[in-house]
Structure 1
Amino acid sequence: MMKKINFLLVLLCCQFGFSQNNLPTTTEEEVVSEKVTEINENKNLVKLNLLALTMGNFSFQYERSIGSKFTIGGSINLMPNRKLPFSKKIESLVDDKTTAAQLQGIRLSSFSITPEARFYLGKQVFKGFYVAPFFRYGSYSLKFPLNYTYENQDQSINLDGKVNTISGGLAIGAQWKIAKNVYLDWLIMGPHFGSAKGNLTGNKALNADEQAAIAESLNDLDIPVVDYEYEVNANGAKAKIKGPWAGVRASIGIGYRF
């Protein structure tokens, strides 16, 4: 009888031990659940750039995870028609006072698109410090009232057109989860360099003296970095712009992950 009882106890102990060894611990369950959530779910993140709003611009970003530490995405930036941004800073870079005064009259609107890839340096995607190589295409619509003097009178001709830019760069930043599915993205700095080119045209009936006055005004412009060629005739003036292009990205974005 005792042998039978002992045998049953051994079977029960073996069965209990087998069951315990095959059940995952709480820690293992949490790790598995977290990995499933991070890798297989909520791969998308959309963001609004709050810093751009303070300057009257609109910037939206999309980011999608394609690995445990890697995302791809891009941003769209819109700037409504306005005066030249940072005009005071630009004035300080221009030696000629006449050119500085001319630049004050510029009206500008823009559209840009910026695809990028992000490499997160922490343990998870969408969290921690990151580096992000990017490419940017920008299109700027300009209205430039060119001032000139004719018969001792101040005159002007509006030069309208577009300047397109292409550039590439590298951004650094950090991103945090601040609530369920809510993230804060701080793009600290993203310098980029490239080239710009475009055409500006002003239509106006001009006599020979007016043409000479406009040509003189265009010749006297001293815009730093940018190269330009111009042509003035009886129907108006044209200016072709080309040269290097540089800028710096920065943003503070609030995002939702889904």
Structure 2
Amino acid sequence: MNRIVTALLLGLLFSVSASAQFHTASVSYSDEDESQIKPNILKLNVAALALKNISIQYERILTRRSSVALGLRYAPETTLPLTSMIKKAVLDEPGTERSLAGTIENATLANFAITPEYRLYLGKGYGQGFYIAPFYRYAVYDVKKMNVTYGEAMSKNIDLGGKFTTNTGGILLGAQWYLAKCLKLDLWILGPGYGTGKGNIEGVNQGNFTPADKEDIRKELDKIDIPLTKKTYEITDNAVKLKLDGPWAGIRSGITVGVKF
């Protein structure tokens, strides 16, 4: 079961991370055009689409050097992104149960995040050039259908599911250019974030657990080892309740295309 949690965390990481390298020409306004600059930019993160996420951002230019932005990310319930990569990373470990492949394939994940940020432009300004952006992110991940086997010959199973909530802060390094008069390209180069996460994962059995079942499940839960994370669990006559509380880290990156108005 410790590898199930590893697979889940890999899925969460892949669901919010993307990167790319590219070069583009920039278009700039002259000083006499500054009074005509449109201060609003609505963007779509095209890199996130490949990871089954819909990510949009609204930016409001305040001054030559500063702006504020608000990002929203949503992913409907679906299988874990990059399932084959996660399976290879987890199942290649020596001693891993091959039945875990079914758990990874069947588990589903949905998520929502809201990310406000403040941008400080270092180059030409007015929404173009390199920038530094302190940000805060609140995210909720909804996990379902984590099928866990236990008992003699691993002949019994129970589905676990629940929510994991994170609060993180960080700094994004990026750059934004004009593609055309009202079209912009924004590269989120690197945005490490760090904070806290809390999760409640539960499963209800159709019948009551036997004393032997409870002991087998307890052994599986004791195998979970997440560094710096506090783990508590409760096994009732027909349910398993697992709580996780500890630090959380992530990386923001992506490619967005936006329209100024």
Q: TM-score range by the shorter chain?
A: 0.7 to 0.9
- Measure the CA separation in 2 of the matches of 1:124 and 1:135: 23
**Structure 1 residue aligned with 2:155:** 154
Q: 5+ unaligned residues in a row in structure 1: which ranges?
A: 1-29
Query: Are 1:97 and 2:96 an aligned pair?
Result: yes
SS in 2 for 1:152: helix
**Structure 1 residue aligned with 2:224:** 221
Q: Which has the higher contact order (CA 8 A, sep 6+)?
A: 2
Q: Deviations over 1:162-206 (max 9, x none)?
A: 010000000111111111211011111101011100211111132
- Equivalent residue for 1:238, pick from 238, 241, 255: 241
**Structure 2 residue aligned with 1:46:** 42
Q: Write the letter of the residue equivalent to 2:169.
A: G
**Structure 2 residue aligned with 1:188:** 189
- Measure the CA separation in 1 of the matches of 2:171 and 2:95: 34
**Structure 2 residue aligned with 1:211:** 214
Q: Deviations over 1:184-234 (max 9, x none)?
A: 111111010111002111111322222222112211233455432111110
Change (3 A) 1:51 1:32: closer
1:80 Cα deviation (Å)? 2.4
| Greater Cα radius of gyration, structure 1 or 2 | 1
RMSD: 2.6
More helix by share: 1
**Structure 2 residue aligned with 1:20:** none
8 Å CA contact retained: 2:173, 2:190: yes
Q: Write the letter of the residue equivalent to 1:65.
A: I
8 Å CA contact retained: 2:150, 2:156: yes
- Measure the CA separation in 1 of the matches of 2:76 and 2:184: 27
8 Å CA contact retained: 1:96, 1:222: no
Q: 5+ unaligned residues in a row in structure 2: which ranges?
A: 1-28
Q: Write the letter of the residue equivalent to 2:75.
A: M
8 Å CA contact retained: 2:107, 2:147: no
- Measure the CA separation in 1 of the matches of 2:125 and 2:172: 19
- Measure the CA separation in 2 of the matches of 1:110 and 1:93: 27
1:69 Cα deviation (Å)? 1.5
Q: Deviations over 1:42-73 (max 9, x none)?
A: 11100000100122211000000111221001
Change (3 A) 1:97 1:104: farther
Worse-matched range after superposition: 121-130 or 160-169: 121-130
Change (3 A) 1:196 1:93: farther
Say how many residue pairs are matched. Answer: 226
Worse-matched range after superposition: 91-100 or 73-82: 91-100
Query: Are 1:56 and 2:52 an aligned pair?
Result: yes
Change (3 A) 1:251 1:206: same
8 Å CA contact retained: 2:52, 2:81: no
The correspondence of residues 167-186 of structure 1 with structure 2, limited to 5 A, is: 167-186=168-187
8 Å CA contact retained: 1:94, 1:222: no
Q: Deviations over 1:12-31 (max 9, x none)?
A: xxxxxxxxxxxxxxxxxx96
Q: Percent of pairs identical after alignment?
A: 36
- Measure the CA separation in 1 of the matches of 2:97 and 2:33: 63
8 Å CA contact retained: 1:99, 1:223: no
Query: Are 1:201 and 2:202 an aligned pair?
Result: yes
Give TM-score, length-normalised by structure 2: 0.78
- Equivalent residue for 1:66, pick from 62, 68, 82: 62
- Measure the CA separation in 2 of the matches of 1:32 and 1:109: 46
1:117 Cα deviation (Å)? 0.6
Change (3 A) 1:89 1:133: farther
